[in-house]
Structure 1
Amino acid sequence: MITGDLKNKVDNIWETYWNNGISSPITVIEQFSYMLFIKRLDDMQLEKEKKAMITGEAIRKAVYAPEEKILRWSNFKLVTSPKEVYQLFTVPQETANKQTVFSHMKNIGDEGGVFAEFVEHATLEIKGENAPAILDQVIKKIDKLDLTDKDLLGDLYEYMLSKLSAAGTLGQFRTPRHIIKMMVEMTEPQKEDTICDPSTGTAGFLVAANDYMEKNHSDWFADDVFLTHHEKEMFSGLEFDSTMARIGAMNLQMHGISHPRLERKDALSKVNEIKDRFSLILANPPFKGSLNNETVEDYLLKKTNKSKKTELLFLALMLRMMKVGGRTAVIVPDGVLFGSSKAHKEIRKEIIENHKLDAVVSMPSGVFKPYAGVSTAVLFFTKTNSGGTDNVWFYDMKADGFSLDDKRNPVEENDIKDIITRFKNQEGEADRKRTEQSFMVPFEEIKENDWDLSINRYKEIVYEEVEYDAPNVIMDRIKALDKARMEAMVELEKMLG
């Protein structure tokens, strides 16, 4: 997490955009991303030049050709006029193969990492009479940021993403980082895992999975076989919205994941034919209502009784995309747990009866505030194609370390550590009573309850017996209070008299 001087610098850059007409947080992050990327391209070229100077060998895969030098970030500070710098971004330069800074960025190709795949429609939103001066301010302020520390770079981008204070398009909203971290720690990403988020958004789940491995298994990164797998095969994501795809790509790249398999496509559509590929799926898919059945992949409709609800279709999608033995942690709205439609029951039955449902963690409705007040839960299940659900572990989360109102201020109450600990050590959970926060429910009981997974169906509430005084005793007390009140009124009148 960034603090102090760096935080102030980022806030200052943000305000420069904000005060000059770019008021959408997503647009600010997108524009900020372009600038960080352009600076990073120049840093990459500087690294290559330094290496070539030491070794005496020619530069391989140069980011900039010699004639493109004027498009480099390090050249901007040599240009004294803000207008001239602005023209480098907006007017094709004859001496640089008729390119602008942005057109060069768009054509950088694989050398630029995953973010370069999603900048074909990038535009500079700093426009108008004062645009050169504003761009000059942004460049000078970004130039003062230290972008060499990968961990700090990742934290910087996470801080920017935390400024998304309103719901995005199509029902998207950013999943709280501590909830993502909880889900990752409970699924424990493994060395050979292939990890996917079919609704990538800002790529928070993929970043958190990588952070988990760096923190808990740093020795893996000394293994060349793992590094190759990490670089090319480990991380995948699907994202339909082009803006979110760009932001997600930059977030991954800022955290050292430069070549994930990030595809811009609708995960639920017929164009997505991914099957039996992933060993771990982490997701918070959009709850955006209904879709047109004509655009949805046939397998998903079959598994959900032709449902149009995205939350049900995504569950079917995850079962298809996982390989046998693969596991999923997914956030769903509460309606998925107890919905009475045939589609709701069928998908729950499919997961519980034909695969292995491991756990249901019920979360309080305030977890996603201020974005939304919807009640949600996290489902953990494993693809088996042969059943395996014996007992399902339920946990009733009451607190997540933050107030459950729109302010979401830090508080002491937090069940997350207990959730992770109990999930990983379930031997004693079978003996816990239904009155406690966590307990086990056997397969047969869930089946008898029409595959209902709402925790209130199984949780027992203990009511404390309260004894009240007899009515005549209560009446005597009321009369005594009335008498005392009247005496006080008389005394007050005497004092005023």
Structure 2
Amino acid sequence: MLQNNPELKSQIDQLWNKFWSGGISNPLTAIEQITYLLFMKRLDELDQKKQADAEWTGEKYTSKFDGLWVPPEYRTKRSGRESPVELVEIIANDQREHGIAKTSLRWSEFKHMQAEEMLQHVQLRVFPFLKDLNGSESNFTHHMKNAVFIIPKPALLVEAVKTIDEIFEVMERDSREKGQAFQDIQGDVYEYLLSEIATAGKNGQFRTPRHIIKLMADLVQPQLGHRIADPACGSGGFLLGAYQYIVTQLAIKGGSEDLATDEDGFVRTSVAAALTEKAQSVLQESLWGYDIDSTMVRLGLMNLMMHGIDEPHIDYKDTLSKSYNQDAEYDIVMANPPFTGSIDKGDINENLHLATTKTELLFVETIYHLLKKGGTACVIVPQGVLFGSGGAFKTLRQLLVERCDLKAVISMPSGVFKPYAGVSTAILLFTKVWDPKDKVTKPGTEHVWFYEMAVDGYSLDDRRQKDQSNPLGDLHDLLTRYRARNAASDTDRTSKYFMVPLNEITEEKNNYDLSMSRYTIDVFKEEHYGEPSEILEMLINAEVGDIKAPELSKIQSGIVRQLLELKEMIG
């Protein structure tokens, strides 16, 4: 996490201050503009690296900066009836008259320009080129249509470019010296930027810490070919987490031996260079995300593209509304949906049957519908979902244990989402057993495994610094215990983990309660204290010891006098 890298954190704070003093005071606007610049920088670096790798291996690679680029406003309009030969001639003519050398659009080229020239070049050429990067028909181009580059001053752009170069230098050095994947450091930078949004936490939208995403990916273990979704994807953290898990497993199977564990004890890489063209194509079609915030959609698209996913499937959609009709389409769903807030009753998708407008309940039901039969979900929910007494709360829990195999309920410490909020949360891990139209002949769940995560490897205050005494927290103990869970042996209700049979959860007194505390047996340690006279003697000696010599004459007054009187009374 960036809290453990003061130099990098300082650089980003400087960047924030420059945007603020340069007239861009809205944090979300600043993040968008900074993201565009990070994207320009990373695009150039990735392209040059791929070119170098291709030269080394002898493989063919076509640079994104090869040839000429014609701005959309200068392209000859097509009727749709042109022959292939005519289209080639039209394109060639457009390039002759209006073509711009793509090499001039590289970060490494324009960063050397004078201030006024750089601003004009980026505004009028580089940024439009980025918006058009994947072609006029691409999802990325569609969502970038309304994006604007609004850095107003040449000096601000020059300073921002210089600072971002310095940030990348620190990231590359840390990657070499500390053994942390460059992509993870970049992700930390991005996460820190997002944490600065003034409205962070509004409507329960909190950034999910990267180590929690990695934990959840290890729990569900997505595989190449799985269709994976996040119905409230924000900046795409869970999709990226699934992508990195799959790429890492493929690299391990391919014989990679130089993959080290990161600071949280996980093995991860985003480097997909070793993937076959077919595997890359399958992976490209595996990840699907949706969000109701168009700005977050753009940020998510660029986040995934900066990690090597050329054409991410992230779209603007309200997945709780009537306009969203996907059903039984995904093998894996990973999500941290909004915790608080309500949706207008008239807008709720007709496939959702919970009698509520609470989004934290409706999202879990939506996730159930999105899963194929046999598909698995790993979802963060507020603790209230586990024990809420309202009818919709109980109905949802009943759905989870009867129509699904509810594998695990993992309680997390309340500080996990600080500094956004101190809300207590839990992870639900469940597999869909019955479709909505199926008649349930046997509940999908036999036992529910509970685990109480007390620490996650970071301080649980607003600073969220790495805990040097326990850097891995309970993360890997949790994974080890989960994989070895056994109904016959995990029976100690005084432990931090145990299994509970379904028939106990469904008892009338428990009302389908899924909170771990409902089934925990508290152990009270017996304490032995001395006789009252001994305790009083200790108190008197302590008080007298605190009195300075000149004040000893006052011993008969105040609290010491009262203690002496009490001692005489009890003998």
Flag whether TM exceeds 0.5 (same fold).
yes
1:471 Cα deviation after fit: 4.4
Measured in 2, the distance between the counterparts of 1:315 and 1:55 equals 45
Aligned position for 2:250: 217
1:402 Cα deviation after fit: 1.5
Aligned position for 1:395: 451
- The range that moved more, 400-409 or 316-325, is 400-409
Measured in 1, the distance between the counterparts of 2:244 and 2:277 equals 19
- The range that moved more, 324-333 or 137-146, is 137-146
1:224-303 to structure 2, matched below 5 A, reads 224-231=277-284, 233-300=285-352, 302=353
1:280-328 deviation digits (Å, cap 9, x = unpaired): 111100113211111110111x1x1x21000100011001000011001
Q: Is residue 33 from structure 1 mapped to residue 89 from structure 2 by the alignment?
A: no
Secondary structure of the structure 1 residue equivalent to 2:379: strand
Measured in 2, the distance between the counterparts of 1:63 and 1:273 equals 41
1:281-430 to structure 2, matched below 5 A, reads 281-300=333-352, 302=353, 304=354, 306-385=355-434, 386=440, 387-411=443-467, 412-413=469-470, 414-427=473-486, 430=489
Measured in 2, the distance between the counterparts of 1:429 and 1:249 equals 46
Structure 2 portions without partners, runs of 5+: 71-94, 255-273, 435-439, 556-571
Measured in 2, the distance between the counterparts of 1:401 and 1:142 equals 29
Secondary structure of the structure 2 residue equivalent to 1:323: strand
Change (3 A) 1:169 1:118: farther
Aligned position for 1:139: 161
| Correspondence for 1:121 among 128, 143, 146 | 146
1:479 Cα deviation after fit: 6.7
1:115 Cα deviation after fit: 4.4
Change (3 A) 1:57 1:377: closer
Aligned position for 1:95: none
1:205 Cα deviation after fit: 1.0
Change (3 A) 1:227 1:243: same
Secondary structure of the structure 2 residue equivalent to 1:427: coil
Measured in 1, the distance between the counterparts of 2:367 and 2:68 equals 39
- Contact residue 105 and residue 125 of structure 2 kept, 8 A: no
Aligned position for 2:518: 457
1:365 Cα deviation after fit: 1.0
| Correspondence for 1:436 among 490, 495, 500 | 495
1:202 Cα deviation after fit: 1.5
Change (3 A) 1:189 1:42: closer
- The range that moved more, 139-148 or 430-439, is 139-148
Measured in 1, the distance between the counterparts of 2:59 and 2:277 equals 24
1:347 Cα deviation after fit: 0.5
Measured in 2, the distance between the counterparts of 1:58 and 1:212 equals 27
Measured in 2, the distance between the counterparts of 1:475 and 1:337 equals 47
Aligned position for 2:189: 159
1:246 Cα deviation after fit: 1.3
Measured in 2, the distance between the counterparts of 1:291 and 1:56 equals 50
2:394 aligned partner, one-letter code: K
- Contact residue 447 and residue 487 of structure 2 kept, 8 A: no
Change (3 A) 1:202 1:470: same
- The range that moved more, 261-270 or 149-158, is 149-158
Please give the TM-score of this superposition, normalised by the length of structure 2: 0.74
1:68 aligned partner, one-letter code: I
Measured in 1, the distance between the counterparts of 2:51 and 2:550 equals 93
Please give the TM-score of this superposition, normalised by the length of structure 1: 0.84
Equivalent residues, number: 477
RMSD: 3.7
Structure 1 portions without partners, runs of 5+: 91-98
- Contact residue 154 and residue 255 of structure 1 kept, 8 A: no
